[in-house]
Amino acid sequence: MRLSRSKRRGTFLLLDMTPMIDIVFLLLIFFLWTMQLVQDARTELDLPLEDGEQIAQTDQAGLIVNLLADGTLIEGDEPISLERLKVLALSTSGASSSRGGSPRPLIRADRNAPAERLNQVMNILRQSGMSGIRLATSPSR
């Protein structure tokens, strides 16, 4: 019995890479754009120099409050008053307790911010039912 070779030796499968390249460029643009938005949303602060707690797992902060050196409170990208902070804290506390979790807000206070204002913010958060309030720091050099 004699086996013969197939005569289709030179056939190649052509792959069109254009859609793959398009997707890669779209993902690149998306990630660069979102990275820029995250950087714009962060308020530049001179945080206290402290090593802080070294934990491997990071917790998601439900409420992030920035306290500037002049005592201004900023949540997200807009300034807020103490009354607005009370409303935000109560709504965040209520939403977290309905999900069964305990909200752990994050305060990013400038190291030159008035201590009285920081105490007011912490008292408002504590009175609204939030425990485990975290204070952001920069690692010491």
Name the domain count of the chain. Answer: 1
125: domain CATH number?
3.30.420.270
Question: Is residue 109 one of the residues assigned to a domain?
Answer: yes
Specify the range with the lowest mean pLDDT, choosing from 19-28, 45-54, 109-118, 126-135.
Answer: 45-54
Question: Is residue 80 one of the residues assigned to a domain?
Answer: yes
For 21, counting Cβ atoms within 10 Å of its Cβ (0-12 exposed, 13-18 middle, 19+ buried), the class is exposed
Give the span between the Cα atoms of 114 and 72, in whole angstroms.
10
pLDDT in tens, 56-93: 556 666 788 899 989 999 988 889 999 999 998 888 87
- pTM above 0.85? no
* Closest by Cα among 111, 140, 107 to 126: 107
Task: Tell me which residue range forms the domain holding 82.
Answer: 64-135
* Closest by Cα among 114, 101, 102 to 71: 114
Question: Is residue 45 one of the residues assigned to a domain?
Answer: no
Question: Is residue 11 one of the residues assigned to a domain?
Answer: no
